[in-house]
Amino acid sequence: MAPVTKKTNGKRSARGVSQSDKKSTKKPRISIDSSDEELELAKNEDAELSSSDEDDLDDLDKGKPEGEKKEEDKEADDLDISDDDEDEDEEKEGKSKSEGGEGGNHTEQRKLLKERKMQRRSGTQVQQIKSVWERLRVKTPPLPKQIREKLSNEIWELSKDCISDLVLKHDASRIVQTLVKYSSKERREQIVDSLKGKFYVLATSAYGKYLLVKLLHYGSRTSRQAIINELHGSLRKLMRHREGAYVVEDLFVLYATHEQKQQMIKEFWGSEYAVFRETHKDLTIQKVCESSVEKRNIIARNLIGTITASVDKGSTGFQILHAAMREYVKIANEKEISEMIELLHEQFAELVHTPEGSDVACTLMAKANAKERKLILKTLKNHGEKLIKNEHGNIVFITILNCVDDTVLVFKSFSPTVKDNLQEFIIDKFGRRPWLYILLGLDGKYFSPIVKNELLRYIELSEATSKKDPLQRRHELLSKFAPMFLSTISKNYAEILTENLGCQFVAEVLINDELYAQLNEKDQQKYQTVLDNILTTFKGDITEETHPIHRAFSTRLLKALIQGGKWNNKERKVEPLKNVQGLGVPFAYKLYDEIIDSSNLLEWINNADSSFTIVALYETLKDQKEGKQFLKDLKEVQSKITSDENNKGSHLLVKLLK
DNA sequence: CTAAATATATGCTA
DNA sequence: TAGCATATATTTAGAA
């Protein structure tokens, strides 16, 4: 493969980035529901073949909200019907004629054009079918079923003998698309059958590709398999094709089963593996490459060939490409990894949001040397928010935390993003994970075995370059980020504590010996402020429904702070803390002093949501001098505790008091 | 951590 | 293809 030239690289990456920025998580995909976008596309291509880059972008324009989409469909339809007989071909011709100076006799031109159309292969049929299609395709008002069926039968009768003449023309292809949409499964099979042998041509045709994707979408398992079988052997060629690449990506992402995906990827190893795919079924790439260096070299060359071509083409965001890259990085040697980083580094951010791409990014990150890591950090820092919030990007980010020794650089690169978004992060299912990692390490509570093993695998890979002790690295990060945690909580505690995930995070921050050990004097004060903030939220009348005591998670947080440790379910006891100051007895004392007192103590006991808090207070304070007042008040109201079956906390309290 | 609850994928039947 | 059942993965809740 020819090496990437600076010029193409720059251009492509620019396009790639704008693409992903506009359509955030949406992947390039060919639309199923709307055929009108396709017509738009057709117009453009007719008008100016060289503006293909633009067209590709149009083509990406998917995933609009349902309502919006309908609107546009309607509009386009109306417009379409009004000027349909003289479609865009005609207008074009008219223009070029008048430019040629032949004057503007429109009727004359129309006639000419009609004749020319008739002369095309199956021209008469096309015109005929088209008029039936006009009646079939209307969306408003919706056609009754019988009529729709009748019309679609009519079209089928007319078109079944010349179907292969239809599918490559931009207007006629749409007719077949509509036909597919409204046909029975038997007829869909028939259509697929009659197009056998043509799928490659379809995939590479500017108009045919839409039909092919519709066949995949509406087709049966066997139809899909038939199409895949036929495209097999040409996938590498298709990946380099302007239209074909989109079809292959769609096929891979949306329609192929797991097994079919494996098959498809194997083809990128080399044609040998595409042809004899049955015999190579359960082969993994590592096994083959271990068996022979020659084979490894051939496979590596084939893979990087496809990868380089696609990256140059600007398809860095394609999932199928990510899957190919994953195979490659599994077997790549040190030099090849470096070249890969060189090839990708500007577009690194386009990898990280798919499972396969994230795997590639993590592997590269782990295997990269210090200088290369710096380079990657530089590209990723501008995409921090998405990187951290995305399920897969998140893994990449944690891998960065796990393997980059230069924690100062890591902090510098991401601290602005973190500062702006931390409040969102900590209540986000994925966005909070990196911070929980910094606080607790790879705790099984927050990292499922699968995710954990994946992360451990990258750590293992990184051991060749990363020299720092993992715990030291994590503590360095903790000491840098902890003040940010505290100020974010202190500033937004009211909102954070209304969220389950927020409460959980706050608990992890506050009940954490490692964190407290990293705090300087000023930040320790900040820590105490946060404790006061939390007390503040529990002020007020607990008979109000909005009081935080009625939300299970904030109550649990409060209880944990009173107990001054986390509940260990295995040992069935609270784990005491060594470093942290201000939890347990002092916190309980403050709570009783400021929030609960003799005036509302009974209320707290007699409410099922808050009674366990009092139990916790009792257990913490019963043998302490700070608890004297509390115990005295408790004795006074003891007799007035109501006996409510549902209030297990008050029952327990009565039992304890005996 | 564990058990239950829930979501997701896969296969079978009509 | 729809609907259902079954297996499997992932998420959630949770003490007294």
Q: Which nucleotide is nearest to A449 if distance is taken from CA to C1'?
A: C10
Number of domains in chain A: 3
Q: Is the CB of A221 under 7 A from strand B?
A: no
Q: Are residues A496 and A430 in the same domain?
A: yes
The tens digit of pLDDT for each residue in A520-534 reads 999 999 999 999 999
The tens digit of pLDDT for each residue in A370-415 reads 999 999 999 999 999 999 998 889 999 999 999 999 999 999 999 9
Distances (CA, A) of A170 to A41, A134, A206, A420: 10, 15, 8, 49
- Whose CA is closest to A306, among A295, A291, A319, A321? A321
Indicate whether A33 belongs to any domain. Answer: yes
Whether residue A88 has pLDDT greater than 70: no
Q: Are residues A514 and A545 in the same domain?
A: no
Q: Which residue has the tokens 């004749």?
A: A115
Q: Which two tokens stand for residue A461?
A: 């890979």
Q: How confident is the model at residue A17 (pLDDT cuts 50, 70, 90)?
A: very low
Q: How confident is the model at residue A140 (pLDDT cuts 50, 70, 90)?
A: low
Task: State which amino acid sits at residue A88.
Answer: E
Give the span between the Cα atoms of A219 and A203, in whole angstroms. 16
C-alpha dihedral sign at A387, A393, A398, A400: negative
Indicate whether A480 belongs to any domain. Answer: yes
Q: Is the CB of A258 under 7 A from strand B?
A: yes
Indicate whether A81 belongs to any domain. Answer: no
Q: Which nucleotide is nearest to A443 if distance is taken from CA to C1'?
A: B1
Q: Are residues A164 and A203 in the same domain?
A: yes
Domain ends where: A489, A521, A553?
A521
Q: How confident is the model at residue A213 (pLDDT cuts 50, 70, 90)?
A: confident
- 3-state class (DSSP) for residue A497: coil
Query: Nearest residue to nucleotide C1 when comparing alpha carbons to its C1'?
Result: A185
Continuous segment of H or E residues that includes residue A101: none
Query: If you average pLDDT over residues A55-74, what whole number do you get?
Result: 35
Query: If you average pLDDT over residues A329-340, what whole number do you get?
Result: 94
Q: Which nucleotide is nearest to A445 if distance is taken from CA to C1'?
A: B1
Q: Which nucleotide is nearest to A615 if distance is taken from CA to C1'?
A: C16
Domain ends where: A197, A231, A265?
A231
Q: Are residues A449 and A513 in the same domain?
A: yes
Q: Which residues contact A162 (CB under 8 A, 6 or more apart)?
A: A121, A122, A125
Q: Are residues A499 and A641 in the same domain?
A: no
Whether residue A651 has pLDDT greater than 60: yes
Residues facing residue A566 across a β-bridge: A575
Backbone angles phi, psi at A154, to 5 degrees: -60, -45
- Whose CA is closest to A433, among A454, A412, A407? A454
Q: Are residues A183 and A129 in the same domain?
A: yes
Whether residue A177 has pLDDT greater than 90: no
Q: Are residues A41 and A181 in the same domain?
A: yes
Q: Which residues of A spanning 549-588 put their CB closer than 7 angstroms to strand C? A: 552, 556, 559-560, 563, 567, 569, 574
- According to the model, what pLDDT value does residue A224 have? 83
Distances (CA, A) of A477 to A435, A473, A611: 10, 6, 39
Q: How confident is the model at residue A344 (pLDDT cuts 50, 70, 90)?
A: very high
A139, A96 in Cβ contact below 8 A? no
Whether residue A367 has pLDDT greater than 60: yes
Q: Is the CB of A572 under 7 A from strand B?
A: no
The tens digit of pLDDT for each residue in A112-130 reads 777 666 566 666 777 878 8
- Whose CA is closest to A167, among A201, A143, A197? A201
- According to the model, what pLDDT value does residue A385 have? 93
- According to the model, what pLDDT value does residue A116 have? 67
Indicate whether A253 belongs to any domain. Answer: no
Task: State which amino acid sits at residue A195.
Answer: L
The tens digit of pLDDT for each residue in A546-579 reads 889 988 889 999 999 999 988 887 778 888 888 9
Give the span between the Cα atoms of A199 and A225, in whole angstroms. 12
Instruction: Establish how many alpha carbons lie within 13 A of residue A520's alpha carbon, considering only the half-sphere containing its beta carbon.
Output: 5
Indicate whether A85 belongs to any domain. Answer: no
CA A23 to C1' C14, in angstroms, rounded, equals 40
Backbone angles phi, psi at A646, to 5 degrees: -80, -10
Q: Which residues of A spanning 585-644 put their CB closer than 7 angstroms to strand B? A: none
Whole-number mean pLDDT of chain A?
80
Q: Which residue has the tokens 């009646």?
A: A135
Task: State which amino acid sits at residue A163.
Answer: I
Q: Which nucleotide is nearest to A429 if distance is taken from CA to C1'?
A: C11
- Helix/strand/coil percent split, chain A, to 5: 70, 0, 30
Q: Strand C: which bases are under 7 Å from protein Cβ?
A: 1, 9-16
Q: Are residues A473 and A373 in the same domain?
A: yes
- 3-state class (DSSP) for residue A167: coil
How open is the CA angle A625-A514-A463, to the nearest 5 degrees?
165
Q: Which residue has the tokens 């389950």?
A: A500
CA A327 to C1' C7, in angstroms, rounded, equals 29
How open is the CA angle A22-A322-A391, to the nearest 5 degrees?
65
List b or e across A120-152, with b for residues whose CB sees 16 or more CB atoms inside 10 angstroms: eebbebbeebbebbeebbeeeeebeeeeeeebb
Q: Is the CB of A652 under 7 A from strand C?
A: yes
- According to the model, what pLDDT value does residue A151 have? 78
Q: Is the CB of A446 under 7 A from strand C?
A: no
Task: State which amino acid sits at residue A118.
Answer: M
Whether residue A284 has pLDDT greater than 50: yes
Query: If you average pLDDT over residues A328-350, what whole number do you get?
Result: 93
CA A176 to C1' B6, in angstroms, rounded, equals 41
Indicate whether A18 belongs to any domain. Answer: no
Whether residue A56 has pLDDT greater than 60: no
Residues facing residue A565 across a β-bridge: A576
Query: Nearest residue to nucleotide C14 when comparing alpha carbons to its C1'?
Result: A569
Q: Which residues contact A524 (CB under 8 A, 6 or more apart)?
A: A516, A581
Q: How confident is the model at residue A184 (pLDDT cuts 50, 70, 90)?
A: confident
Q: Are residues A463 and A595 in the same domain?
A: no
Whether residue A209 has pLDDT greater than 70: yes
Domain ends where: A231, A258, A282?
A231
Q: Which residues contact A133 (CB under 8 A, 6 or more apart)?
A: A155, A174, A175, A178
Q: Are residues A622 and A481 in the same domain?
A: no
Torsion of CA A382, A383, A385, A389, to 10 degrees: -160
- According to the model, what pLDDT value does residue A523 have? 96
Q: Which residues of A spanning 612-651 put their CB closer than 7 angstroms to strand C? A: 612, 615-616, 648
- According to the model, what pLDDT value does residue A10 have? 32
More confident position, A252 or A139: A252
Distances (CA, A) of A104 to A96, A183, A581, A615: 11, 43, 91, 94
Query: If you average pLDDT over residues A223-233, what whole number do you get?
Result: 84
Backbone angles phi, psi at A566, to 5 degrees: -95, 145
Q: Is the CB of A444 under 7 A from strand B?
A: yes
Give the span between the Cα atoms of A289 and A292, in whole angstroms. 6
CA A189 to C1' C5, in angstroms, rounded, equals 28
CA A159 to C1' C1, in angstroms, rounded, equals 25
Indicate whether A312 belongs to any domain. Answer: no
Give the span between the Cα atoms of A114 and A123, in whole angstroms. 9
Distances (CA, A) of A331 to A303, A357, A393, A395, A405: 11, 16, 23, 21, 25
Q: Which residue has the tokens 């009108």?
A: A36
Whether residue A27 has pLDDT greater than 50: no
A316, A347 in Cβ contact below 8 A? yes
Q: Are residues A435 and A544 in the same domain?
A: no
Indicate whether A250 belongs to any domain. Answer: no
A223, A211 in Cβ contact below 8 A? no
Q: How confident is the model at residue A270 (pLDDT cuts 50, 70, 90)?
A: confident
Q: Strand B: which bases are under 7 Å from protein Cβ?
A: 1-2, 9-10
CA A541 to C1' B14, in angstroms, rounded, equals 61
Give the span between the Cα atoms of A110 and A113, in whole angstroms. 5
More confident position, A168 or A15: A168
CA A373 to C1' C12, in angstroms, rounded, equals 37
The tens digit of pLDDT for each residue in A622-641 reads 999 999 999 999 999 999 99
On the 0-12 / 13-18 / 19+ scale of CB atoms within 10 A, A101 is: exposed
Q: Are residues A124 and A226 in the same domain?
A: yes
Give the span between the Cα atoms of A195 and A174, in whole angstroms. 15
Q: Any alpha helices (H) in A427-545, and if so which ranges?
A: 433-440, 449-462, 470-496, 500-510, 513-518, 521-537
Domain that holds residue A174: 29-49+119-231
A174, A40 in Cβ contact below 8 A? no
The tens digit of pLDDT for each residue in A432-482 reads 999 999 999 988 888 888 888 889 999 999 999 999 999 999 999 999 999
CA A218 to C1' C2, in angstroms, rounded, equals 14
CA A45 to C1' C7, in angstroms, rounded, equals 49
